[in-house]
Structure 1
């Protein structure tokens, strides 16, 4: 390892980050600057920030590791993130969010929902969900970076987590959303270059596209019996319809994240930083291409890592990261191990920058949203100083969780947070934009139903969480209260419809709210 080159890369990266942070600090004079970048962000800058915040180390490392386990079936998540996470999010939701948000004078996601329904309870409830849930997602992002730095640089994992978190929080604290946007664009450029090179280097290493995919197809006979029994049919096939793995891929990984992206507070806020709806149209292409490269490459390379490890070690990917003492694999280590083992050292340095960029861009948005939810939405009359202090609180909580969460948790933690956000916020957010008949009572009922059902399903029904929590076993003497297939169906498949039904039913039975804040459709494209 050439430490001189490594140190030079890190210093250059940090130097540019500091420069952009100083620039953002100088342009952050008011609360609106800190929260919404003054509402004048360039569409390409917003699209890169949106994409790099959406795609983090949880996508590259966590979901890349999941692709190594489940195969090319995760490419359905790429399709879902582009169609739902970019096209639907930008064109359908983004324009209305921008216009209604400006009409309301909202600066945060909880404030947006609360002002639409004229409810202080909704604002505080939404803020509490974000403050309680998002640190888990932020911790997952930190874990991805920490595992990679541990593999590549052989440094202590705990130390890597702490240093990484502090650096990210520093530029969010100083520059607010402008610091986030400027650094996101810089980091997105590195991410894009790194993933393009990973794509070409991987196929070159494995003999080309045709040879690599044929080799992966030919490995079907190597699927372990334990995985085959759960529906695994090979790394180039979907799991068996209705099997445990099919439900995990479709309901948890594809639907949970693909739909949950619409109600992510840190992403919704990006739309309100633009000047007008036409800027959103211009951002769609940039956002779509970026997401395609980021997720498509990560999931493809994750699946193809099986070919490399089989050829070099005589093992599939999941076996290459199995702890000898415990017998348990840590799929979060597959992509870092693949990069360190299979690719040239110079690429390891570049990919380290790619992962650092992916993690920092996502964490910065998370810290900003947690901090503003804590300071602006729970408490009134927040100042720039109190906003910055709140981000320190978000940092401390995220680092603590990153050091405590178990292995193979990145994709799971991400899917859980996306699912909870979808069940709690998506019906209310959608109604705030498109259904004037929705009422305050209906929204409150929807949010409570979505959050409560998600928690109960995770605690007593969905096997992955109920086993880890142990609450069902403690109270009832068994891991889950139901049998198959319910133990494999992600909570979002039940909690999101329940939340929507609660909103519609209660709204129709309660008094109509004043709809003066909704805009006519004719104004959307102006």
Structure 2
């Protein structure tokens, strides 16, 4: 890397980001501006911000590395991301979320659910879940950015983490969601250019699309024996149905993230920033194209890296990375791409990291200040707004977790956060916007059950997390309390159906009881 070129380029990039953040700060005059952008954001800005928030270093670095290990099966996740994460999310969920938030005067995700169900408990509980658990997701986005800076620039990993965290913390504290969305939109354009060039040059390096896929299919004998025993059948084929790898790929990676996107608080907040439904409809195409070039490109580049490394070194990607999937994509960039592209992708990864981290930190801050403190009558601490204090706490927590979490954790931690959100929030969200018979009690019971069962599943039943955390080993002397295939089935598969059933049953029971009480009062009056 020629730092005489890189440093001025970074200064220019950060100056542009800072200018946009300052513009957002100047446009932020009210609480509604800080939290929901004044509800007048341009649809293209919203779509790009949504895409940039959704596509983090976890997608480009973590999931790209997982695709290098598992193969093209991850393209099913790209399809779900576009269908559920854009078309269904914008046209069905987004329109209801936008209208309900405006009608109820809700400024946060938790505030929207709480006001819809007339429940302070729901507001505080969901806000606490976001504030307490989201740092785990934020931290792995930081890890992805830090790993890239380490592998491509030779920058100290710890320094990379701190630089990203400090940059984001400053402009989120000052400009709120307006600053976040303006910088997101600029970051999205940089990301789109970077990934499109990366995808084209990756296939060019292996002889084209057909030659690349045929060459990758012929490398089946290079798959490590440990992966073959778990069901791996090649990078251009799905794993053996019912095998450990198949369950991990389908239940955790594809379904966990693909369904969980509908219940992501940081994404649903974007729908609350536009003024009407037409703005959402107009943003669908922009969002769909962007998500394809982000997730779809990463899931194609990952597998192709195996053929490139085999042709140049005689080893596949996983071997070159010493088993750490989180460094495969950075290594591939360093080995394949010309110097000018490393500069461009440096900005791409910085954009991906900053855009997602800023959105997550903004949400954590608003959850702390708006959803938790204000519901206990606390508007500020030492004269500082509670949301801004929440931002500082969120940044510090994410940095600390970045040092604690083990290597190769990016994709798994993403699936964990998406999965618990789906189980805890999705039935309640669907009921809030599409079922008049839903009740406060049903929503409360569903959320508690969804989160509780999900967390129990990750702590004691799902092998990868349970073994890494070690609580089951300490308490019961074994890594998990379950047997195969439950050890490899994502908790989403049983937590979400259970949460939905509890929501429906409790709502029906409490609705009937409420009707009986109303009838009894009417007869007494009569």
Q: How does 1:142-181 map to 2 (within 5 A)?
A: 142-181=142-181
Conserved? CA contact 1:438–1:513, under 8 Å: no
Match of 2:521 in 1: none
Return 5+ residue gaps in structure 1 as ranges: 323-328, 516-526
Q: How does 1:298-447 map to 2 (within 5 A)?
A: 298-322=298-322, 329-380=323-374, 382=379, 385-447=385-447
Return 5+ residue gaps in structure 2 as ranges: 516-526
Match of 1:231 in 2: 231
CA apart distance, 1:511 = 3.3
Conserved? CA contact 1:423–1:495, under 8 Å: yes
Match of 2:33 in 1: 33
Conserved? CA contact 1:437–1:513, under 8 Å: no
CA apart distance, 1:341 = 1.2
**Counterparts of 1:469 and 1:140 in 2: how far apart (Å)?**
16
Report whether the alignment pairs 1:259 with 2:259: yes
**Counterparts of 2:15 and 2:473 in 1: how far apart (Å)?**
51
Match of 1:12 in 2: 12
- The CA deviation string for residues 68-91 of structure 1, in whole angstroms up to 9 with x for no partner, is 000010000000000000011011
Match of 1:325 in 2: none
Conserved? CA contact 2:368–2:386, under 8 Å: no
Match of 1:492 in 2: 492
* Runs of 4+ deviating beyond 4 Å: 512-515
Provide the secondary structure at the position in 2 that maps to 1:511.
helix
CA apart distance, 1:382 = 3.5
**Counterparts of 2:185 and 2:72 in 1: how far apart (Å)?**
29
Segment of structure 1 superposing worse, 476-485 or 270-279: 476-485
- The CA deviation string for residues 219-259 of structure 1, in whole angstroms up to 9 with x for no partner, is 11111111000000000000000101111111100100010
Segment of structure 1 superposing worse, 393-402 or 504-513: 504-513
CA apart distance, 1:471 = 1.7
- The CA deviation string for residues 253-279 of structure 1, in whole angstroms up to 9 with x for no partner, is 010001001110101110010001111
TM-score where L is the length of structure 1: 0.95
CA apart distance, 1:312 = 1.3
Q: Count residues in correspondence.
A: 509
Match of 2:215 in 1: 215
- The CA deviation string for residues 83-111 of structure 1, in whole angstroms up to 9 with x for no partner, is 00001101110001111111111000000
Pair 1:4–1:242, CA change in 2 (3 A): same
CA apart distance, 1:514 = 9.9
**Counterparts of 1:386 and 1:116 in 2: how far apart (Å)?**
23
Segment of structure 1 superposing worse, 268-277 or 376-385: 376-385
**Counterparts of 2:396 and 2:271 in 1: how far apart (Å)?**
28
**Counterparts of 2:400 and 2:252 in 1: how far apart (Å)?**
25
Match of 1:72 in 2: 72
Pair 1:348–1:513, CA change in 2 (3 A): farther
Q: How does 1:66-215 map to 2 (within 5 A)?
A: 66-215=66-215
Match of 1:522 in 2: none
Report whether the alignment pairs 1:453 with 2:447: no
Conserved? CA contact 2:419–2:491, under 8 Å: yes
**Counterparts of 2:124 and 2:356 in 1: how far apart (Å)?**
24
**Counterparts of 1:390 and 1:136 in 2: how far apart (Å)?**
15
**Counterparts of 1:499 and 1:171 in 2: how far apart (Å)?**
38
Segment of structure 1 superposing worse, 200-209 or 245-254: 200-209
Segment of structure 1 superposing worse, 34-43 or 373-382: 373-382
- The CA deviation string for residues 460-484 of structure 1, in whole angstroms up to 9 with x for no partner, is 1100111111122222222111211
Provide the secondary structure at the position in 1 that maps to 2:438.
coil
Provide the secondary structure at the position in 2 that maps to 1:510.
helix
Match of 2:482 in 1: 482
**Counterparts of 1:214 and 1:511 in 2: how far apart (Å)?**
59
Q: How does 1:274-285 map to 2 (within 5 A)?
A: 274-285=274-285
Conserved? CA contact 2:39–2:274, under 8 Å: yes
**Counterparts of 2:498 and 2:181 in 1: how far apart (Å)?**
36
Conserved? CA contact 2:334–2:342, under 8 Å: yes
Q: CA RMSD for the aligned pairs?
A: 1.3
TM-score where L is the length of structure 2: 0.95
CA apart distance, 1:112 = 0.5
**Counterparts of 2:439 and 2:513 in 1: how far apart (Å)?**
5
Pair 1:183–1:513, CA change in 2 (3 A): farther
Provide the secondary structure at the position in 1 that maps to 2:385.
helix
Conserved? CA contact 1:116–1:432, under 8 Å: yes
CA apart distance, 1:447 = 0.6
Report whether the alignment pairs 1:465 with 2:465: yes
**Counterparts of 2:408 and 2:401 in 1: how far apart (Å)?**
14
CA apart distance, 1:389 = 2.3
**Counterparts of 1:213 and 1:465 in 2: how far apart (Å)?**
33
Conserved? CA contact 1:368–1:391, under 8 Å: yes
- The CA deviation string for residues 169-207 of structure 1, in whole angstroms up to 9 with x for no partner, is 211111100001100000000000000000111112111
